[in-house]
């Protein structure tokens, strides 16, 4: 039975990573990736079972897990695999790139100048101890003192690694704090600034996705403007604006549909026709077309207008009656209207 639970191992691994339990994350993600029944496909709509599809990005999360564990060679290995399927517009891409930069920096640090001063060797003929009662001063060997620059570099790398891990887990405030502390060390301001900017981009992208999920279309526009100020070429800007515009049109279409149906059942057929006619063509549902036909047929019958009756029949065909029988709706509509709609074309 355990063979078909690769997706559960993956989900548990992702959950462990986001909660900071990196040891469990590594175990679960490797189990999911190495399961013989795990798919080779990667993406956000990978088939789990039956018709259920969801995200499957094990190499990405393994790379970020190993970055958090500071196992840089493993982080680079899985980052290289993840880069084969992630795109520059994906929210994970920036995080992966930052982790890869950290791994490269740690594994290939800049060479520090060696201290050219060598301690003089101890004399093979030490002077005899003085004859007075004062205890002899024992000279201890010099303790190695770490170069302050090396200490700063080590702390700098640690803080940037922490910032990268926080950013990958969606903890953007913590990521900014760690990156700001790294910048304060004055080791490499360009790297710290790059990570701060990447964190800001990740944060705004995350907010955009959250607003899209909750259909808060008006908030998406201002967030897309903020993202454009940070990263003008980011593809999320265009896709978010398009999805928000589409969402607004769909919501408005649903409102007009409700208002139009209310007017129809109150017997105000002209108002129903006018209201339903405002629904944008690209979001018009078969039900909208059906009630446009019903309203037109009702007016044609009331006015004895054959052109309206013919138009009603044409509108009814746009509702695709073969695919949409409207069984429930027909129960509440006058049989005279139904006969007009079902009449053969003249």
Measured between its terminal Cα atoms, the distance across the chain in Å is 63
In a domain, 198, yes or no: no
Task: Answer whether 62's CB lies under 8 Å from 29's CB.
Answer: yes
Task: Answer whether 279's CB lies under 8 Å from 256's CB.
Answer: yes
Question: What are the pLDDT digits (tens) for 42-76?
Answer: 999 999 888 888 999 999 999 999 988 889 999 99
Mean pLDDT across the stretch 141-163?
77
pLDDT at 144 over 80: no
Confidence of residue 93 (pLDDT cuts 50, 70, 90): confident
Mean pLDDT value across the chain: 86
Mean pLDDT across the stretch 32-37?
93
Confidence of residue 2 (pLDDT cuts 50, 70, 90): very low
Question: What are the pLDDT digits (tens) for 191-209?
Answer: 999 999 999 999 999 999 9
Higher pLDDT, 72 or 128: 72
Higher pLDDT, 158 or 2: 158
According to DSSP, residue 99 is labeled H
pLDDT at 92: 85
Number of CB atoms found within 10 A of residue 266's CB: 10
In a domain, 197, yes or no: no
Mean pLDDT across the stretch 137-145?
54
Q: How far is CA 259 from CA 124, 245, 277, in A?
A: 104, 21, 11
Query: Percent of the chain beyond pLDDT 90?
Result: 58
Confidence of residue 115 (pLDDT cuts 50, 70, 90): very low
In a domain, 287, yes or no: yes
In a domain, 327, yes or no: yes
pLDDT at 121: 47
Q: Inter-axis angle of helices 72-82 and 91-107, to 10 degrees?
A: 140
In a domain, 215, yes or no: no
Backbone angles phi, psi at 277, to 5 degrees: -70, -15
The first and second tokens of residue 141, run together, are: 């060997």
pLDDT at 187 over 80: yes
In a domain, 334, yes or no: yes
pLDDT at 330 over 90: yes
pLDDT at 290 over 90: yes
Backbone angles phi, psi at 48, to 5 degrees: -90, -60
Mean pLDDT across the stretch 155-183?
88
Range of the domain at 329: 250-342
In a domain, 271, yes or no: yes
Strand 52-56 with 43-49, pairing: antiparallel
Task: Answer whether 65's CB lies under 8 Å from 17's CB.
Answer: yes
In a domain, 269, yes or no: yes
Number of domains in the chain: 1
């Amino acid at each position: 039975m355990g063979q078909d639970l690769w997706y559960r191992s993956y989900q548990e691994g992702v959950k462990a990573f986001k909660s900071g339990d990196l040891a469990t994350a590594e175990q679960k993600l490797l189990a999911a990736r190495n399961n013989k029944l795990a798919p080779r496909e990667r993406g956000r709509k990978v088939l789990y079972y039956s018709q259920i599809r969801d995200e499957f990005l094990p190499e990405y999360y393994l790379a970020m897990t190993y970055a958090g564990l500071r196992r840089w060679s493993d982080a680079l290995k899985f980052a290289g695999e993840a880069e084969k399927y992630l795109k520059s517009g994906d929210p994970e891409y920036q995080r992966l790139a930052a982790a890869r930069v950290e791994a490269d920096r740690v594994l290939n640090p800049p060479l520090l100048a060696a201290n050219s001063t060598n301690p003089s060797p101890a004399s093979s003929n030490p002077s005899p101890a003085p004859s007075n009662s004062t205890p002899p001063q024992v000279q201890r060997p010099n303790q190695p003192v770490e170069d302050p620059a090396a200490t700063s570099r080590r702390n700098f790398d640690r803080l940037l690694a922490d910032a990268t891990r926080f950013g990958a887990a969606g903890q953007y405030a913590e990521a900014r704090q760690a990156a700001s502390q790294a910048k304060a060390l004055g080791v490499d301001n360009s790297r710290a600034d790059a990570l701060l900017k990447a964190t800001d981009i990740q944060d705004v992208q995350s907010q955009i996705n959250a607003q899209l999920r909750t259909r808060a279309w008006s908030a998406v526009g201002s967030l897309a403007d903020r993202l454009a100020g940070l990263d003008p070429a980011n593809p999320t800007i265009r896709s978010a604006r398009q999805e928000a515009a589409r969402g607004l049109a769909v919501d408005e279409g649903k409102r007009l549909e409700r208002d139009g149906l209310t007017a129809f059942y109150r017997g105000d057929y002209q108002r129903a026709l006018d209201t339903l006619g405002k629904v944008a063509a690209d979001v018009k549902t078969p039900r909208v077309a059906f009630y446009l036909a019903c309203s037109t047929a009702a007016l044609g019958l009331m006015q004895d207008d054959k052109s309206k009756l013919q138009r009603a029949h044409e509108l009814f065909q746009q509702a695709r009656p073969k695919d949409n029988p409207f069984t429930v709706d027909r129960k509440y509509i006058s049989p005279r209207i139904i006969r007009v709609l079902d009449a053969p074309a003249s």
